[in-house]
Amino acid sequence: MIKIICNRTEISPKVINFPDGTFKIDLEIPEETSPWKIIWKYENETELIQLIYITNHLKNHGYTNIDLVMPYLPNARMDRVKDSSEVFTLKWFCDIINSLRFDSVEVLDVHSPVGEALLDRIVVRTPEEYIRQAMEMAGIDKENDLVFFPDEGSCKRYSAFIPQYDNVGFGIKKRDWKTGKIEGFDIHGADPKGRNVFIIDDICSYGGTVCHAALKLKELGCGNIYAYFTHCENSIAKGELFKGDLIKAVYTTNSLCTLNTDEYPKLCIMDCLKEEEE
């Protein structure tokens, strides 16, 4: 979904499809025409085409000072290739964004340093405020409960945000690299026994890694388990995290997730675009 803000006035482009699938886009431009902010709340990659058309339309009419707010970085996982047959989609995506020459590109919680390096004029927002908010909602006790990272990457990424927490742990996955399946999970750090656990990670698809971590943590005698993801795909509903009593609650932002919280009562969605839209 693409929104446009001009001098705090929201302009919603009217987009319809011709029978051949191409777009007809109408964009009413207000009298006050600077600065511009384009907000892209990612739903699918066809929106990239709309973004290209809209941005070039504005530039063609002489409008400058255009910022892009893109909380979720599409193709973020494809930050490396293993062989020449794999297409480096993150690089080519970032090249397209760079070609539009935004004054700034704001991203929330970039998945890896590669994405940050590939985007010109990037402004990275940390998820610290949402992590703290989720911890407060979960009632995490900084002296007694356990903050847990499901892999070493998330530990490095987020540990700086929570230095005041006394008990921290992380997991190491045992994976079959031929099949990609997780075959085991080791827990390191503070003892989870008798503690409530707050798991932190950046992106969730089906929640398989967190599910393996939670099963191991329960095996070691932990209390309630809560999970936070900055970017949560709707596919989480097809996994195991909402089933049974393994996970007490899942917290995420609205950067990506559009699930109905009435239908999934364990899910809590925080608004990461409120300030941008005001």
Question: The pTM is what?
Answer: 0.89
pLDDT, tens digit (0-9, with 9 covering 90-100), for 112-156: 889 899 999 999 999 999 999 999 999 999 889 999 998 877 877
**What percent helix, strand, coil does the chain show, rounded to 5?**
25, 30, 45
Given this model, what pLDDT does residue 179 score?
A: 58
Percentage of the chain lying above the pLDDT 70 cut: 94
**Digit-coded pLDDT (tens) for 58-110:** 999 888 889 999 999 999 888 888 888 999 999 999 999 999 999 999 999 98
CATH class of 128-277: alpha beta
DSSP state of 237: G
Q: pLDDT above 90 covers what percent of the chain?
A: 60
Same CATH fold, 128-277 and 2-125?
yes
Query: Over the stretch 237-253, which tens digit does the pLDDT of each residue have?
Result: 999 899 888 999 999 99
As a residue count, the chain comes to: 278
Q: Count the Cβ atoms, other than its own, within 10 Å of residue 107.
A: 21
Which of the four pLDDT bands, split at 50, 70 and 90, describes residue 157? confident
Q: Does 184 have pLDDT greater than 80? A: no
CATH code given to domain 2-125: 3.40.50.2020
Residue 63 or residue 7, greater confidence: 63
* Under 8 Å between Cβ of 203 and 231: yes
In angstroms, the Cα distances linking 52 to 40, 134, 180, 212 are: 12, 35, 35, 40
Task: Flag whether pLDDT at 261 surpasses 70.
Answer: yes
Q: Is 230 left (phi over 0), alpha (psi -120 to 50) or beta?
A: alpha
| pLDDT at 9 (0 to 100) | 82
Q: Cα separation of 155 and 171, whole Å?
A: 9
> In the chain, what are the domain boundaries?
2-125, 128-277
